[in-house]
Amino acid sequence: MARRFNRNAKKQKFRFYNKKERNKYNMQQRTAHAKKHVINLSKRRLSNQEYILLAKGLKFIPTPSSKNAKMSILKDYNEFARKLRCRYMFSQEKTDLHPFRSNTGYKPASTCHTLENYIDLTKLELSFLPIERNVKNNLTKGERIALRNLKNDETIVIKKADKNSNCVILDRLDYITEVTRQLNTQHYCQLDSFNMAELKIQVIEYIKSLYDQGIIDKISFKFLTNGQKLRDARLGRIYILPKIHRLETETFKQIQHDGLNELNIIPPGRPIISQCGSVTELIDAVEFVQL
């Protein structure tokens, strides 16, 4: 009996060590694969969990909280029900939708009893839909800690590489130095003063002149002079994408081997002006559709 117990204990201990070694080997493999897609040009040494997290890409979405999941489902369903009623009411009208037609949010009256019964019964079923509180997270505990550490670290900047989807980590000071170098050229000049209200007036006057000349129609005019968007407009933003393909092969291999930028290399950047949320954002959309 004692010998059988000792034999079973040895087997369990062997399985434990096998599992531990297997997990260690899997972590090494995942880290080695992640380092192929993450280029660390900062002086901050990344942990294995941070490499694995960044290798998922900048478009990766962690599992959201299920706290308000049912409320979001019912809100989306109410919008879906409104569109069903609109489709039933205007199904006989065949008109081409304007690309810049604003969503009016029109709520048609209840006309079809069959459709209303379907909407009410489906909404009732959704209200009793069980929502799992303990949803499986798509990040491990170590990756969630790594995400929090990277988010709170203000000494680095994380960007997508130019020409490929690799993730590049830069020191914030190096990033600012490269942007400043590009701005201090003959292509840019610093304004002594800037008046956002005056710029908005000029944009509206320009759009009105296009409408008066018949270049744009009334729907496009209303779209471009959207009061809320112009009221919340801000200045454009410049950012750069590091051109890691410009680095020499030996330098790149040395940085990948060291895991950090000990050579103090600052790669050139591709400048991009983001007009999202700016005064001229809507005008750019119209020009894109016309082309």
**How do strand 156-160 and strand 167-171 relate by DSSP bridges?**
antiparallel
* pLDDT score recorded for residue 102: 72
The pLDDT value given to residue 52? 93
Q: What is the pLDDT of residue 12?
A: 56
The string over 259-270, giving b where at least 16 C-beta atoms fall within 10 Å of a residue's C-beta and e elsewhere, is eebeeeebbebe
Closest Cα partner for 180 from 275, 274, 269? 269
pLDDT of residue 17: 60
What pLDDT is attached to residue 214?
Answer: 85
Position 71 scores a pLDDT of 87
Q: Side chain identity at 46, as an amino acid letter?
A: L
Residue 158, CA distances (Å) to 34, 162, 165, 169, 175 in order: 15, 13, 12, 5, 10
Residue 291 has a pLDDT of 43
Q: What amino acid occupies position 230? A: L
Q: So what's the pLDDT on residue 251?
A: 84
| Best CA proximity match to 51, nearest among 167, 190, 138, 153 | 167
pLDDT per residue rounded down to tens, the chain (291 residues): 445 545 555 555 555 567 777 888 888 888 888 888 999 999 999 999 999 999 999 999 998 877 888 888 889 999 999 989 988 888 777 777 777 777 777 888 877 888 899 999 999 998 888 877 777 888 899 999 999 999 999 999 999 999 888 899 999 999 999 999 999 988 888 888 888 888 888 888 888 888 888 888 888 888 887 766 667 778 888 999 999 888 888 888 888 878 877 778 888 999 998 888 888 777 766 654 454
What per-residue confidence (pLDDT) applies to 14? 52
Dihedral angle sign, alpha carbons of residues 29, 30, 35, 37: positive
- Residue 8: the pLDDT is 59
* Rounded Cα distance, 266 and 174, in Å: 6
What's the start-to-end Cα distance of the chain, in Å? 85
User: How far out from the chain centre does Cα 238 lie?
Assistant: 17
**Dihedral angle computed from the Cα positions of residues 24, 25, 28 and 34, in that order, rounded to the nearest 10 degrees:** -110
Domain positions in the chain? 69-127
